[in-house]
Structure 1
């Protein structure tokens, strides 16, 4: 849930009224907001950690 909130926060800061002032976000802009949230790195870390614990 934390990453969902960070994604929305990033999207609004980058592309909202105080950012670029976009009325609607594109799919690429949402992808950028997701990347900036740290979600992808977190999932990779969790997968590596889980794999190490299984061995």
Structure 2
């Protein structure tokens, strides 16, 4: 849940009223927000740590 909340926070801060000020957040902006959240790195780390 932490990564989800951080993803939404990143997306809104970077693309909302005080960011790019677009009408809608597009797919690429969501992808960047997910990358910025650290979720992908965490999943890779956990897979390596668990041996698989």
The aligned residue for residue 25 of structure 1 is 25
The aligned residue for residue 12 of structure 1 is 12
Aligned length: 52
Instruction: Point out 4+ residue stretches in structure 1 off by more than 4 angstroms.
Output: none
- Which has more radius of gyration? 1
Structure 2: 5+ residue stretches without partners: none
RMSD of equivalent CA atoms: 1.1
- The two structures have a TM-score, normalised by structure 2, of 0.95
- Aligned equivalents of 2:19, 2:7: Cα separation in 1: 15
Structure 1: 5+ residue stretches without partners: none
- Aligned equivalents of 1:32, 1:49: Cα separation in 2: 25
- The two structures have a TM-score, normalised by structure 1, of 0.90
Structure holding more helix per residue: 1
